[in-house]
């Protein structure tokens, strides 16, 4: 009996210490500028489009050491911008054209202040155009199609601007991305929505500053996966190489197919409205002294597929940022992203906005 009592006391003592430590950690990280959750809302048949919880100001820390902290306003439609969106029924007496900037985390742009994003800079540069940015991190080409159909229905834009980056292609298929809340292409070239509902555990975790630090700032799940890859590096290397080869071949083919499906939609859209596609440059190649995109890369293959298809659509306006970034780098030797984060920094957004300003001047000259 004394042993049981002793074990019970030790169990109670350890539980008490654990709870005290957790409480102290929670208190510390509530004081520190830990990232807030953007709170992606439930996505289903009644609410089919990805967006964040509306009308909020959120804290976003990039990295883990609190040296890059940013505040972002989330507007009335749940997107990261200071501009409020008006549905088309409320635009009856509008004087300005509406342009939607559609994309993923490069449009969401939590790394920079709202005023420093390319779409905000573009908005300021032209009093005759109001920019509505619609971007959610992780969105692929298939989601861009869903976004533009959503914008077409609600806002009836005059201009569509799509930003395309390296991971937008193969992730347009559920078999690759496997994340709920997004639209994916099907084998029949249709869009399929995978419903998403935050679990009770996730809702609780969003309220904890310490948990948010672990998952949003430290990105502990990414670190664990990296450790697993290192740990499993020597396990059955021949089989692993074969699996990876087959998987990468599938990725390559699905990326090309996604580009083709997306450009079919763009061809149809560009027959009715002005459409601009902005292709990200291969910034790593530029920093390494190369003039062209990496030759042996699926990403280059996918980007070139977009360029090839774009040339066949006379009404489409294409901006390839690679030569533009290259010229700027050769002149200034300043990177367009941070060393610890691959998204565009203030300079990157500024260069993209300048390219778009020039393109819009040509369109409306």
Does residue 158 fall inside a structural domain?
yes
Does residue 25 fall inside a structural domain?
no
Residue 32: pLDDT band (50, 70, 90) is: confident
User: 57, 36 in Cβ contact below 8 A?
Assistant: no
Structural domain of residue 262, as residue ranges? 32-363
Does residue 26 fall inside a structural domain?
no
How do beta strands 183-185 and 129-135 pair? Answer: unpaired
Residue 242: pLDDT band (50, 70, 90) is: very low
Q: Average pLDDT of the chain?
A: 89
Does residue 234 fall inside a structural domain?
yes
pLDDT of residue 295: 79
Total domain count for the chain?
Answer: 1
User: Each residue of 4-24: pLDDT tens digit?
Assistant: 777 777 877 788 788 888 788
Does residue 37 fall inside a structural domain?
yes
User: Each residue of 293-335: pLDDT tens digit?
Assistant: 987 788 999 999 999 999 999 999 999 999 999 999 999 999 9
User: Each residue of 188-206: pLDDT tens digit?
Assistant: 999 999 999 988 888 887 8
User: 131, 163 in Cβ contact below 8 A?
Assistant: no
Does residue 9 fall inside a structural domain?
no
Q: State the maximum Cα–Cα separation within the chain, in Å, rounded to a whole number.
A: 91
In the DSSP assignment, the letter for residue 202 is H
- Please determine, for residue 241, whether its predicted confidence score (pLDDT) is greater than 50: no
Mean pLDDT of all residues in 262-278: 96
Does residue 16 fall inside a structural domain?
no
What does pTM read for this prediction? 0.90
Does residue 56 fall inside a structural domain?
yes
- What is the rounded CA–CA span in Å between residue 336 and residue 111? 12
- What is the rounded CA–CA span in Å between residue 170 and residue 214? 28
CATH number at residue 64: 3.40.50.1110
> Which residue in this structure is represented by tokens 């990468």?
248
> Which residue in this structure is represented by tokens 């990326």?
255
């Amino acid at each position: 009996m004394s042993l049981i009592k002793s074990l019970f006391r030790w169990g109670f003592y350890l539980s008490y210490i654990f709870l005290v430590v957790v409480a102290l950690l929670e208190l510390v990280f509530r004081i520190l500028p830990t990232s807030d959750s953007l709170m992606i809302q439930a996505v289903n048949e009644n609410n089919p489009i990805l967006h964040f919880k509306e009308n909020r100001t959120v804290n976003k820390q990039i990295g883990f050491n609190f040296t890059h902290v940013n505040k972002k306003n989330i507007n009335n439609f749940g997107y990261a911008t200071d501009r409020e969106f008006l549905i088309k029924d409320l635009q009856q007496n509008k004087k300005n054209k509406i342009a939607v900037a559609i994309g993923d985390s490069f449009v969401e742009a939590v790394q920079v202040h709202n005023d420093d994003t390319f779409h905000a800079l573009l908005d300021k540069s032209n009093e005759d155009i109001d920019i509505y940015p619609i971007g959610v991190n992780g969105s692929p080409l298939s989601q861009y199609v869903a976004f533009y159909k959503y914008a077409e229905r609600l806002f009836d834009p005059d201009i569509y601007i799509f930003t395309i980056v390296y991971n937008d292609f193969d992730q347009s298929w559920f078999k690759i991305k496997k994340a709920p809340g997004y639209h994916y292409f099907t084998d029949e070239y249709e869009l399929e929505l995978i419903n998403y509902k935050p679990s009770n555990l996730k809702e609780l975790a969003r309220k904890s500053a310490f948990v948010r630090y672990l998952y949003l700032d430290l990105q502990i799940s990414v670190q664990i996966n990296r450790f697993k890859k290192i740990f499993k590096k020597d396990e059955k290397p021949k089989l692993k190489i074969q699996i990876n080869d087959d998987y990468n071949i599938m990725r390559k083919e699905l990326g090309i197919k996604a580009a083709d499906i997306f450009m079919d939609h763009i061809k149809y859209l560009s027959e009715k409205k002005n459409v601009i596609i902005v292709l990200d440059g291969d910034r790593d190649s530029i920093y390494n002294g190369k003039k062209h995109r990496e030759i042996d890369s699926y990403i280059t293959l996918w980007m070139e597929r977009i360029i090839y298809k774009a040339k066949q659509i006379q009404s489409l306006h294409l901006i390839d940022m690679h030569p533009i970034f290259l010229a700027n780098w050769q002149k200034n030797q300043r990177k367009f992203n941070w060393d610890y984060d691959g998204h565009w920094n203030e300079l990157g957004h500024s260069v993209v906005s300048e390219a778009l300003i020039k393109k819009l001047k040509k369109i409306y000259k």
